[in-house]
Structure 1
Amino acid sequence: MDVDPEQKYPTVGVLNRGRGLLYRDSVAGSATAYKKLNRIGPSMLVYSRLKAFEGAITVTPDDLPESFASQEFPTFAFASDADPDFFRILTTMERMWDALQGASKGMGGRRERVKPADFLNIVMDIPPLPVQKRIVEAIGAVDDQISALNEEAEALDRVSMAVASDMLSGEPIVALGTALDDIRGGKSPQANKWPPGADEFGVLKVSAVTPFRFLPEESKSLLPGTFMPASALVQPGDVLITRANTPLRVGAVTRVPADVRNGLYLADKTLRLVPSSKLDPDFLVVAMALKAARNHLMSSATGTSASMVNVSQDRIRETPIPLPDLDRQREVASAVLSVRANTDAARAEATRLRKARSGLLSGLLDQSITIDV
């Protein structure tokens, strides 16, 4: 449809790995360079031509309000013998992501795209409609359990931070920089799109660092011959912070566990916080997850992209944190991490169920697991 300069358009994007839509702020027609936009309606299949190789594909929610996207996001309506809920599940599968990666054409980076004609030529085994609906029921039951575990984990997250806030009430507030010895950065790497093998060097993606959680699987293998300085090597016990991320996730802080695999490096979007002798590393992670610190970091972030903003080292140093004595710091950290052990258990169970879901879905599609209709 043609863009009207007098209108505003609620816009969406598509998250990678089949994670659904990215909801963006409305854009005025007079403020966009696009002359045409695609209308995105409920229960439609949509993918990103540019990010298809990363699995940026989904089926929109049934209750999606009127939304729009650029023509880089082709959309498709479903035939009568296709269940949108089934295809929504299909977009969460690695076989779909692999097919999109195989259909991606172009030379490097932003020139790679999946054209609609190539997308429509992707071959998938699609069962009859009655089987599609039974698969939706079976997978939906597993998804409900996963959602319940995620909700439990989020509730425990809130409890842990309430415990921290209560225990730290009345403690002196200082700027983070006064309790640090240093902030050290990583290096912009030359990396592949895929994770490193067991004996390969890798570089952390920004998604590897989330509050209280370190995800080493969120990494990419380095291209052969890529130099990374020893100072960028991730070490057990490091306290890491994301300096660039989405607006809600910038400034995420975690501590690297003792069993981290060797050979992972920091990229330039992640920094290492080096606490002084008056700041316990585990307490630092807790303090940086408190509401005052999170609000400061998010409000300090700048950038022109709706999906990626940056926070400077100076603003990180200005982050307000409580600073009791070391014994109290360790007491608070111990209490919070004790609650979070239950959070981690809920997330681990959700991860186990996701793996079981993947195996069940694969079996249902290749008919190694049969289902009554």
Structure 2
Amino acid sequence: MTSDHVVPLRRLFRVVNGGTPTPAQANWNGSVPWATPVDLGASAGAISQTQRTLTQLGARTGSRVVPAGSLILSTRAPIGYIAIAQREMAFNQGCRALVATSPVDIRYFYYQLSAATKELQSLGQGSTFQELSSEVLASHLVHAPDLEDQRRIADFLESEVGRIDRLAKVQQEMLLRLNERDLAILDSKIEELFGAFGAAPFRRYIASVEQGSSPQCDNMPAEVGEWGVLKVSSVKRGAFHPSENKKLPNEMAPAIRYEVREGDLLVTRANTPALVGAAAVVGRVRRKLMLCDKIFRIRTTSGLDKSFLAMVARGTRIRDLCAAASHGTSQSMANLKIEEIKEWPIPAAPLAAQRLMLSEVSAHHGATADLGAAVRRQLGLLRERRHALIRAAVSGQIDLTTGRGVDL
């Protein structure tokens, strides 16, 4: 393939921007699918249904509709999810569509752009969040052989990439099974303690509760030595992630009383419905990280091991209570009141029994984590092979008559 086949996307496609209608009832819950980056991320390359829909009025006045066979690409939060629209579809401002203005095999360009995620992300601009502009997207260079070659390459990739994707799906299902087994063992151990010692509300073990503060921060993590405010994502699935923070502006005085310390028990009061109510104990941590107002710091009495509480909070009983009690203004964010957290049922076990369960469950989770790490390494290798195969095929490095070419 020669350089004559490399052209900017604008030579082949029209870039269409998306939008969001007003909340008026007349705009929503109609027959027009309305894609978001979340929908694209879950699409596996082809999209026909979306979480939310628009009426014809909403699509006409607040969004844009593109025909079936268009490519829809997420251009922020994050950049790079891509899918082929299987029907007429609207989409929000986090996406842009590519509507063909020349005869193309859309599968060929889907594969090519799906392998260019890192390159597209590097083209993002913006201080608050990275966004791929219409102009930059339209200027992105792609290989564009004649239509017959596009079809031959797309057919080849459909077969070979499909095989890789099926292998990846098996690995992803294995990760799900490992997580399910972890949860089943955790629930079993928790129920054993309930059966042996009964239940007590969490409030019985609480000495004090403190809630942080959320000043306006810079959209970047704080460097060591700088003050940062923790995000809710710093507490997730029983673990504390100190790198999940935003830099406090230099001109703003920190609220030193909210600085987190090793041994603090943190519980989130706001997050997505699946993650709200997450608990974790802070391990070794650097100085100058503050609680945000969506995280509680809970001091407990001597009768409760804080790591035991964080582990019990991952169990199905408390997760179900969080899902039932959480309330908020959107499907993407839920909230818990401290009184609801205080009612969590905790096995009324003595410290020795708490720590024995911690040891047993941690040992099992450690073995599972090793298996999961091996599976994720395999997934990484499959992703690398997928991208290399696509790049080699679209750039002419593979002889499709023999299947021979670069060493992948």
TM-score (norm 1): 0.75
Q: Is the 2:231–2:246 contact (alpha carbons within 8 Å) kept by the matching residues of 1?
A: yes
Are 2:241 and 1:215 equivalent residues in the alignment? yes
Return the alpha-carbon distance in structure 2 between the equivalents of residues 248 and 125 of structure 1.
Answer: 42
Among 277, 283, 289, which residue is 2:302 paired with? Answer: 277
Q: Is the 1:89–1:136 contact (alpha carbons within 8 Å) kept by the matching residues of 2?
A: no
Letter in 2 for 1:241: V
SS at match of 2:208: strand
Letter in 1 for 2:302: S
Deviation at 1:242, TM superposition (A): 1.7
Deviation at 1:328, TM superposition (A): 1.7
Are 2:147 and 1:121 equivalent residues in the alignment? no
Equivalences for 1:313-328 in 2 at 5 Å?
313-328=338-353
Range with bigger deviation, 203-212 or 118-127: 118-127
Q: Which residue of 1 aligns with 2:270?
A: 244
Q: Is the 1:152–1:346 contact (alpha carbons within 8 Å) kept by the matching residues of 2?
A: no
Q: Is the 1:189–1:228 contact (alpha carbons within 8 Å) kept by the matching residues of 2?
A: no
Among 205, 211, 217, which residue is 1:191 paired with? Answer: 217
Equivalences for 1:225-264 in 2 at 5 Å?
225-258=251-284, 260-264=285-289
Letter in 1 for 2:208: D
Letter in 2 for 1:120: A
Mark the CA change 1:72 to 1:81 in structure 2 (over 3 Å): closer, same or farther: closer
Return the alpha-carbon distance in structure 2 between the equivalents of residues 154 and 317 of structure 1.
Answer: 27
Among 13, 16, 23, which residue is 2:36 paired with? Answer: 13
Return the alpha-carbon distance in structure 1 between the equivalents of residues 218 and 64 of structure 2.
Answer: 32
Q: Which residue of 1 aligns with 2:176?
A: 151
Are 2:332 and 1:307 equivalent residues in the alignment? yes
Return the alpha-carbon distance in structure 2 between the equivalents of residues 31 and 299 of structure 1.
Answer: 34
Letter in 1 for 2:330: S
Q: Gapped runs of 5+ residues in structure 2?
A: 1-17, 399-403
Return the alpha-carbon distance in structure 1 between the equivalents of residues 297 and 227 of structure 2.
Answer: 19
Q: Is the 1:240–1:270 contact (alpha carbons within 8 Å) kept by the matching residues of 2?
A: yes
Return the alpha-carbon distance in structure 2 between the equivalents of residues 58 and 7 of structure 1.
Answer: 25
Equivalences for 1:129-208 in 2 at 5 Å?
130=153, 133=157, 136=161, 140=165, 143-144=168-169, 146-170=171-195, 171-198=197-224, 200-208=226-234
Deviation at 1:311, TM superposition (A): 1.2
SS at match of 2:189: helix
Return the alpha-carbon distance in structure 2 between the equivalents of residues 72 and 237 of structure 1.
Answer: 40
SS at match of 1:207: helix
Return the alpha-carbon distance in structure 2 between the equivalents of residues 125 and 231 of structure 1.
Answer: 57
Deviation at 1:88, TM superposition (A): 6.8
Q: Which residue of 2 aligns with 1:330?
A: 355
Which string of whole-angstrom CA distances, capped at 9 and with x for unpartnered residues, describes residues 24-78 of structure 1? 7546749979844455888854345xxx44324412388x798754465433357
Equivalences for 1:58-137 in 2 at 5 Å?
58-60=81-83, 69-70=91-92, 73-76=95-98, 79-80=104-105, 82-83=107-108, 86=111, 89-90=114-115, 93-99=117-123, 101-102=124-125, 104=126, 114-123=132-141, 130=153, 133=157, 136=161
Letter in 1 for 2:134: P
SS at match of 2:296: strand
Q: Is the 2:36–2:94 contact (alpha carbons within 8 Å) kept by the matching residues of 1?
A: no
Return the alpha-carbon distance in structure 2 between the equivalents of residues 299 and 350 of structure 1.
Answer: 33
SS at match of 1:292: helix
Deviation at 1:298, TM superposition (A): 1.9
Deviation at 1:289, TM superposition (A): 1.9
SS at match of 1:7: strand
Return the alpha-carbon distance in structure 1 between the equivalents of residues 322 and 83 of structure 2.
Answer: 32
Letter in 1 for 2:137: F
Return the alpha-carbon distance in structure 2 between the equivalents of residues 186 and 126 of structure 1.
Answer: 54
SS at match of 1:225: coil
Q: Is the 1:54–1:97 contact (alpha carbons within 8 Å) kept by the matching residues of 2?
A: no
Range with bigger deviation, 23-32 or 113-122: 23-32
Among 308, 320, 326, which residue is 1:295 paired with? Answer: 320
Deviation at 1:206, TM superposition (A): 1.9
Deviation at 1:174, TM superposition (A): 2.4
**Aligned residue-pair number:** 358
SS at match of 2:36: strand
SS at match of 1:74: strand
Q: Gapped runs of 5+ residues in structure 1?
A: none
Q: CA RMSD in A?
A: 4.4
The alignment-based identity, stated in percent, is: 22
Return the alpha-carbon distance in structure 1 between the equivalents of residues 169 and 335 of structure 2.
Answer: 35
Return the alpha-carbon distance in structure 2 between the equivalents of residues 41 and 253 of structure 1.
Answer: 46
Deviation at 1:279, TM superposition (A): 0.9
Return the alpha-carbon distance in structure 1 between the equivalents of residues 384 and 328 of structure 2.
Answer: 41
Return the alpha-carbon distance in structure 2 between the equivalents of residues 318 and 230 of structure 1.
Answer: 30
Return the alpha-carbon distance in structure 2 between the equivalents of residues 242 and 56 of structure 1.
Answer: 28
Mark the CA change 1:348 to 1:11 in structure 2 (over 3 Å): closer, same or farther: same
Q: Which has the larger radius of gyration?
A: 2
Return the alpha-carbon distance in structure 2 between the equivalents of residues 25 and 135 of structure 1.
Answer: 30
Q: Is the 1:196–1:222 contact (alpha carbons within 8 Å) kept by the matching residues of 2?
A: yes
Return the alpha-carbon distance in structure 2 between the equivalents of residues 236 and 126 of structure 1.
Answer: 56
Return the alpha-carbon distance in structure 2 between the equivalents of residues 120 and 299 of structure 1.
Answer: 46
Return the alpha-carbon distance in structure 2 between the equivalents of residues 42 and 343 of structure 1.
Answer: 43
